[in-house]
């Protein structure tokens, strides 16, 4: 075989770490790459198990950093893509790099932008990146006094990875005081939010309440070059009309009209580029996806609500349905720190995803319900799996967010109609989903 022919044949072995809807979407997109011979998913879910083009590694947990590295070395993995924050915060990228394995994601130190609210708020303050005014507390009495001084509404955030559950937007003083009592328990009995506290113990960030509309602004970065992804917006509350408890996200769509060219420009100029430059200046170069949760205020200011060191879930599902470029080539270039010159091509159509959640989500999601109907995927509609599991008795639910029915359409209205038609085709006992995904863009 000529050298040319060797280069043309797909030879790249890819490992996707995680088991959510985001990781199913990564695997679905990566396996379409002409560079890719095989995509493995560790540990994967029922959806990646069913897909004949993917191989699950159920014995490897996403946070088994050393086990994953050993497996990747033994199996000639040429690109590892990390979905969730926990393995990043546990140092997966550091471990892989120390052994010369190409990996796309931030180091443990860089992942503090998400894993520690105190780190990211101090970073933003130091580098002049617009965000809500705040203070950090380890002492409950001081936190209570600060709340009384500032008044409500006010926002209380636990300083640690909390799977989206460590933030209380308190509309009253009583709610704010209660949140502090939960997050800074005085009796050392542990915490009530499932928050993994960072070194030094329980800490809270208390910050100014910001009004406006939220959007997800996600970029790919190799340490120097930054490529913004298509814009998106998700729906964090459980119920229609943005009511009910916060969740990891009940649906998302792309593009997000609220991110006008002026907002896009501000987000890049005032938030993303100073963050990448600031991390480099601080000696912690940022590689990986960087997700800025934006608050676009009524006066047109753009502020940072939070950073995530990963793609959003469910934003990934509609974003990747619109991506026409070869994701494997892009992420390989980023892992090699040679992203300069790469362009991302997008489908002009809109994409929208509706999350189907289990009964009891988000507080106590029920597991083990049989999935009795599942529509067939097409070029325009894919049901990405999240909390599903293959069992001898068939596919069952295994987590809070079970699937994300995602579709493309000419305009958001058509994407929404197709996504809901797909969602209606899924059946499991207790399924709950919002009926109004996309309402901020569509007005209904
Ligand atoms: P976070 O994990 O920091 O993004 O917070 C989760 C959600 O809480 C956000 O998506 C917002 O809806 C809300 N939130 C967080 N911080 C603020 C703030 N300063 N003002 C208003 N709402 C906020
Ligand atoms: N959908 C919000 C997140 O991934 O954090």
Round to whole Å and give the CA distance between 205 and 363.
23
- Ligand of minimum distance to the alpha carbon of 171: 1
Residue 353's alpha-carbon distances to 6, 234, 406, in angstroms, are: 39, 9, 4
Q: Is the CB of 205 under 6 A from ligand 1?
A: no
Q: How many CB atoms lie within 10 A of CB 113?
A: 25
Mean pLDDT of 196-217: 83
Roughly what angle, to the nearest 10 degrees, separates helices 273-281 and 117-126?
A: 100
- 295, 238 Cβ separation under 8 angstroms: no
Output the pTM of the full model.
0.92
Q: Is the CB of 249 under 6 A from ligand 2?
A: yes
- Ligand of minimum distance to the alpha carbon of 211: 1
If you search the block for the tokens 């394995």, which residue do you land on?
101
User: Out of 27-36, 80-89, 200-209, 317-326, which region has the weakest mean confidence (pLDDT)?
Assistant: 200-209
Instruction: Give the pLDDT band (50/70/90) at residue 381.
Output: very high
Q: Looking at residue 426, what DSSP letter applies?
A: -
Instruction: Give the pLDDT band (50/70/90) at residue 4.
Output: very low
Round to whole Å and give the CA distance between 89 and 35.
29
Q: Indicate the average pLDDT of the chain.
A: 93
* CA atoms within 13 A of residue 199's CA, in its CB half-sphere: 4
pLDDT number for residue 199: 55
Mean pLDDT of 79-108: 98
pLDDT number for residue 253: 98
Ligand 2, residues 246, 249, 290, 355: which to mutate, most atoms within 8 A of Cβ? Answer: 249
- 24, 385 Cβ separation under 8 angstroms: yes
């Amino acid at each position: 075989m000529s050298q040319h022919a060797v280069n043309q044949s797909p030879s790249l072995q890819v490992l996707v770490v995680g088991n959510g809807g985001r990781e199913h979407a990564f695997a679905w997109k990566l396996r379409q790459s002409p560079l890719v011979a095989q995509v493995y998913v560790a540990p994967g879910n029922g959806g990646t198990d069913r897909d004949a083009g993917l191989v699950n590694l159920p014995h490897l947990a996403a946070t088994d950093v050393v086990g994953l590295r050993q497996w990747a070395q033994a199996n000639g993995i040429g690109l590892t893509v990390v979905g969730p924050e926990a393995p990043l915060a546990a140092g997966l990228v550091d471990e892989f790099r120390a052994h010369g394995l190409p990996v796309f994601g931030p180091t443990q130190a860089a992942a503090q932008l998400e894993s520690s609210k105190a780190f990211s708020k101090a970073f933003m303050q130091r580098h002049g990146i617009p965000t809500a005014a705040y203070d950090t507390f380890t002492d409950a009495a001081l936190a209570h006094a600060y709340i009384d001084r500032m008044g409500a509404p006010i926002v209380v955030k636990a300083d640690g990875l909390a799977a989206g559950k460590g933030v209380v937007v308190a509309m009253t003083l009583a709610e704010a005081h209660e949140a502090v009592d939960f997050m800074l328990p005085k009796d050392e009995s542990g915490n009530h939010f499932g928050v993994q506290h960072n070194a030094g113990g329980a800490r809270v960030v208390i910050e100014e309440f910001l009004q406006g509309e939220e959007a997800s602004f996600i970029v790919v970065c190799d340490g120097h070059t930054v490529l913004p992804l298509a814009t998106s917006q998700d729906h964090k509350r459980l119920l229609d009309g943005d009511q009910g408890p916060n969740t990891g996200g009940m649906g998302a769509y792309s593009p997000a009209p609220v991110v006008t060219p002026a907002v896009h420009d501000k987000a890049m100029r005032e938030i993303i580029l100073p963050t990448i430059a600031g991390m480099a200046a601080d000696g912690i170069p940022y590689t990986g996806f960087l997700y800025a949760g934006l608050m676009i205020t009524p006066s047109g200011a753009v502020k940072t609500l939070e950073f995530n060191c990963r793609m959003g879930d469910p934003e990934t599902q509609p974003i990747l349905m619109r991506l026409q470029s070869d994701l494997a080539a892009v992420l390989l270039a980023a892992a090699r720190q040679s992203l300069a010159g790469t362009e991302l091509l997008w489908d002009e159509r809109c994409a929208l995803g509706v999350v189907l959640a289990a009964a009891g989500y988000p507080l106590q999601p029920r597991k083990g319900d049989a999935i009795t109907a599942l529509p067939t995927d097409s070029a325009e509609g894919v049901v990405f799996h999240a909390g599903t599991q293959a069992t001898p008795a068939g596919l069952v639910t295994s987590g809070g967010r079970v699937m994300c029915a995602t579709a493309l359409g000419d305009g958001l209205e058509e994407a929404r109609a197709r996504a809901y038609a797909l969602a209606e085709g899924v059946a499991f006992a207790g399924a709950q989903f919002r009926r109004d995904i996309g309402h901020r863009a569509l007005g209904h």
